[in-house]
Every structure is written in C-alpha cells, then in structure tokens.
Amino acid sequence: MLELFGMFVFALAPIIWLVIALCGLHMEAYKASLGALVVAAICATIGWGMTPINLGTAALEGFAMAIWPIVIVIIAAVFTYNLTVHTGAMENIKGMLCSVSADRRVLALLIAWCFGGFLEGMAGFGTAVAIPASMLVALGISPVTSILACLIANGVPTMFGSIGIPTTTLASITGIDVVQLATVQAIQVFPFVVACPFLIVALVGHDKKALEGMVPACLVSGVSFAVCLLVTAHFIGGDLPDVVASVVSLVLTFVYSLTHHEGKIPDGYRVDVEPHEATLAEKIRSWAPFALIFVVLLATSKLIPFINEPLSAIKSTFNIYAGDPTATLTFSWVNTPGVLIFICGIVGGLIQHCPPREMVGVLVDTCKQMSKTIFTMLGVLACAKIMGYSGMIASIAAFFVGTLGSFYPIVAPWLGALGTFVTGSGTSSEVLFGAVQLHAAQAIGTDPTWLVASNSLGVSAGKMLSPQNIAIGCASCELIGKDGEILGKIAKYAFGFAVCMSVLVYVGTLILG
C-alpha cells in the first residue's frame, strides 16, 4: 500500500508542478507547461523505466497532436476575429448585439453561453473560448471577466463537443450503447447546465445582486439547454445534443430578452457602446465569417455524410510512439475545424473587402500574438502523452480503485476532471480513464453506464481548469501572462462543481445498486 501511494504521489508530480508554477510562482503558462514536460520526463524515466527513445517519441506525438488540430484551430479562430476587428466589422456586430439588449448580463448569456455552446458542439478545440471571449471584450467587458464567463460556459457542453466525439469515443472504448451512455450523461449534467447561466450572470455583474430581474432569463437559457440535451441524447445519441441545445437556447433567450427584458436595465449593467449605423449589406458582410463557420461546419459534419465522408477520407495515419506499433495518430487534412475556420475567415475577409495583403498582415500579427500559447500547447500535450504511455496515469487510477473500494464513485468524476486538466481535451480524458471507470464499476458491483458517464461529468469541471483552455482565452483577449490569476479565480467554480458531482455520482450508485 505504501508503494502504491508513493507511485501515486510521484505520478502527480507534473500536475503539482503546474499548480505551483501557475498559482504560487505566477509563472507564464508556456514556461510552466514546458517545466511540467521536464518533470514528467524525469518521473517517467526514474519511476516507470521509460526508455529515452520511448520518451522522445511520446513527446513528439504530443507535439504533433498539439500542432494539428489544436494550434491550427486556435490560430484560425483568433485570425477570424482579428480580421473582423481590422475591417471594422466588429463595430457593426457590437451595434447589432446591443440592439437586442444593452444589458451585459443578457449579452453574456447570448455570446458566452449560447453561441459558445454552439461553437463547442460544432468545432471544439478552444473555439468556444477564443471567439466568444474576444467578442465580450469588444463589448466592453473586462478581459478577465470575459475569459472566466467563457470557461464556465465551455465546461458542461464538452462531453458532446465536436459533434459528440468525446461521447462516441467513450462508448467505443467501453462497449456501452452510445444512446444509453449519452442519455445518462445528459441526466447527470442536467443540474449543472441549469446552474451555469446563473453563475455567468453573477460573474459579469460582479455580484449575486446581478441576478435581480435576470432569474427568468437564466431559467429560459439554462433549462431549455438542459432539456434539449436530454431529449436529443435519448432519441438521437451523442452527436447532436450541443448543437440542438445551443440553437434552441439561443432562440428562446433572444426572444425572451426582446419581449420581456428591454427597458429594465440598471445603469451598472448597461454596455456603453456608441450607436453605430450600418446598412443591411454592411450587417450581412460583418457577420459573413461567423455565418460561414456555422454553415461550413454543419455541412461537413457527420450530419451530412455525402460531404463528410469524402473529406474525412483525406487523411494520413502515422505511428510516432516507438513503444507501441498500434498507437497511431491520424491527421485529417481538410475536414478539421482549424482548416475549415481558416477558409471561412479568408472568404469572410474577402466579402468584407479586405485586400489579401492586409489579410496576410493580420495573420502574421495573429501568429505573433499566439506564439506563447503555441509553446503552452506543445508542453501540455507532450506532458500528457508521456504520462499516459509511461503508466503514470494508470498509477493514479490504480491508487483510487485499490484504496477506496465501494467509495470509489466519490472520486470517479475527479479522474475525468484530472484527465481534462492534463490534456485539455475531453476526448483524451475518456481515452485515459474510460476503461478504468468500467473496470471499477465491475469490481464494486455498480451500474457501469452510470460510473462510466461520471467520467464525462468530471470532464466538465476539468475543462474549466485546463491550462490549455486558459491559455487560449488569455491569448485571444491579449491577456498574456495572467494564466495563474485566471486559474486561481476559476478554481472555486471548478472545484465546487467537482464536489457536487461527487455527491451526485455516489448517491446515484447507492440508488442504482
């Protein structure tokens, strides 16, 4: 038992370093993540006997996965936003948004919660933080508040993000029917989805008093999202819940705000944006990049197989990690969010009459803006691959399963959160811990679908804390070097969610037997 505990603590060393470096030493994220990579390499070599060649190729696979598809989608999303600012289109967008409501609380629901949920459902990979956070800053909300609001909003949709990839991956790993799994996931996450709009409103209003007069709007936004998640998951599966729920929530929140909320805005919550007149043609051009992103991501998704399948076939598969010839990494060269958003951004820029030379200049500036974030992605993903391949992640899981017995469901969501904190990816967390949750359920004799779904529930909390997600938000809002501050402030929300999730999962196992 002592040896098991020692390996558990040793395996946690890279994560402990990240927390200390970001929160205690206030180190920039790219330095902290590269430090975590070094710590992981040392621990994997000493504690798990990982050979230099396996160590190097595991890190190389992490680098490759960071660059494609994650870095490319981040640069594409921020480039698209920067281009709309450069052309002046963002001023038109701000004016139109404020015509719906000049209340920052309502705008936060529409942009961070509804639009962010749609981006997560369609694309994922940081787009749901990068684009909405940038838009909130453009409306006059502080960068820190904008990032925190988007981190909260981005947590609960993650299990059904990127057209359901995390859920379908988890179902394939565990052998559980995907519709059954998605339904249980939606049941577990239901109360947290309802809670998110209330948290977002209180956050952007800087106080719980901000909820005065906003409770009905929050209920409309949260309950509609949660109900649609459950209904879509039960009748369709894991592919569409986020997309359907975010669109329905957006429409209902929009209609409610127009018909019930206007004219009741306290001065402290009014967005100070000067009236900006624009013709119908200018408004259409302003929204062109985002409208194209909506149409193209939808058209190339699994919902339209005759487009999706030929594009998805344009791919290459490589074995990078030397320790396992079956461990392959597939690169989709066309049908990946980064490439598609990039194309939409360029076409949208042309529609907005931006000369190609200026677009190149915006792209160069965007790459400079994102340079430190790129190093953060490289460090985090390489660290995650080393921890996974070496057995460090398995040691963490083995400690919990071996020591807690029937009380294991209490920590089951925390494993999902841990996997997402380390990798920044809900799908990666499902890969790391999905089978562990299944085996634990079989060992303690509880319902396997309930316990496996709890891994996805924990992903929601871990996504808020992920250094990768925080770095994306900071880069998109030009808040470089504030990662530790953001991590410290979002922690209370993430850990609060995780504690409540533990209670829910444990009580659920007692009821199900």
Phi, psi of 316 (to 5 degrees): -135, 140
Q: Which two tokens stand for residue 392?
A: 């460090």
Question: What pLDDT band is residue 357 in, cutting at 50, 70 and 90?
Answer: very high
**495 band by pLDDT with thresholds 50, 70 and 90:** very high
pLDDT for the residue numbered 21: 83
CA–CA dist 36, 321 (Å, integer)? 20
- The per-residue pLDDT for 140 is 82
Pairing of strands 329-332, 315-318: antiparallel
Q: Specify the DSSP class assigned to residue 332.
A: E
Higher local confidence (pLDDT), 266 or 335: 335
**The token pair that represents 453 in the structure block:** 């779904």
Q: What are phi and psi of 17, to 5 degrees?
A: -60, -45
3-state secondary structure of 103: strand
pLDDT (tens digit per residue) in 204-217? 888 788 888 889 99
Range 478-486 average pLDDT? 81
What residues contact 460, with CB distance under 8 A and at least 6 apart? 155, 156, 158, 159, 189, 192, 417, 497, 501
Q: What is the pLDDT of residue 125?
A: 67
Residue tagged 């369709």 (tokens)? 236
> What's the pLDDT at 73?
75
Residue 154 has pLDDT above 70, yes or no: yes
Residue 1: pLDDT band by 50, 70, 90 thresholds? low
What was the pLDDT predicted at 192?
96
Mind listing the pLDDT tens digit for each residue in 272-297? 666 567 788 888 898 898 788 878 87
Region of 88 on the Ramachandran plot (φ > 0 left; ψ -120 to 50 alpha; else beta): left
First to last CA, the chain: 28
Q: What is the pLDDT of residue 2?
A: 67
Least confident of 72-81, 384-393, 497-506: 72-81
For the residues 212-233, what does the mean pLDDT come to? 92
Average pLDDT for the chain: 85
CA distances from 402 to 23, 84, 513 (A): 31, 54, 20
pLDDT-derived band of residue 123, with 50, 70 and 90 as boundaries?
low
- What integer pLDDT is reported at residue 229 of this predicted model? 93
| d(C-alpha 163, C-alpha 184), whole Å | 18
Contact 150, 466 (CB under 8 A): no
Mean pLDDT of 173-190: 90
Burial-class residue 221 by CB neighbours within 10 Å (0-12, 13-18, 19+). Answer: buried
Whether 479 has a pLDDT exceeding 70, the answer reads yes
- State residue 90's pLDDT score: 78
Quote the CA–CA distance of 391 and 128 in Å, as a whole number: 32
pLDDT confidence of residue 500: 96
Segment 12-30 mean pLDDT: 80
Q: How many Cβ atoms sit within 10 Å of the Cβ of residue 253?
A: 26
pLDDT, mean of residues 301-327: 88
Per-residue pLDDT averaged across 114-126, rounded? 79
Q: What is the pLDDT of residue 59?
A: 94
Dihedral, 42, 45, 51, 53 alpha carbons, nearest 10: -10
Q: Is the pLDDT of residue 95 over 80?
A: no
Half-sphere exposure of 396 (CA within 13 A, CB side): 23
Helix (H) or strand (E) holding 318: strand 315-318
* Per-residue pLDDT band at 98 (split at 50, 70, 90): low
What is the chain's length?
Answer: 513
Q: Is residue 342's pLDDT more than 60?
A: yes
H/E element, 331: strand 329-332
Q: Which residues contact 171 (CB under 8 A, 6 or more apart)?
A: 177, 178, 181, 182, 238
Q: Which residue(s) pair with 330 in the sheet?
A: 317
Instruction: Supply the pTM of this predicted model.
Output: 0.75
Please give the Cα distance from 150 to 131 (Å, whole number). 9
- Give the separation between CA 429 and CA 435, rounded to whole angstroms: 11
Q: In angstroms, what CA-CA distances link 56 with 17, 44, 45, 388, 512?
A: 21, 11, 11, 14, 45
In this prediction, residues 155-184 reach a mean pLDDT of 84
Q: Is the pLDDT of residue 118 over 60?
A: yes
pLDDT at 264: 65
Digit-coded pLDDT (tens) for 385-406 = 898 899 887 887 778 777 888 8
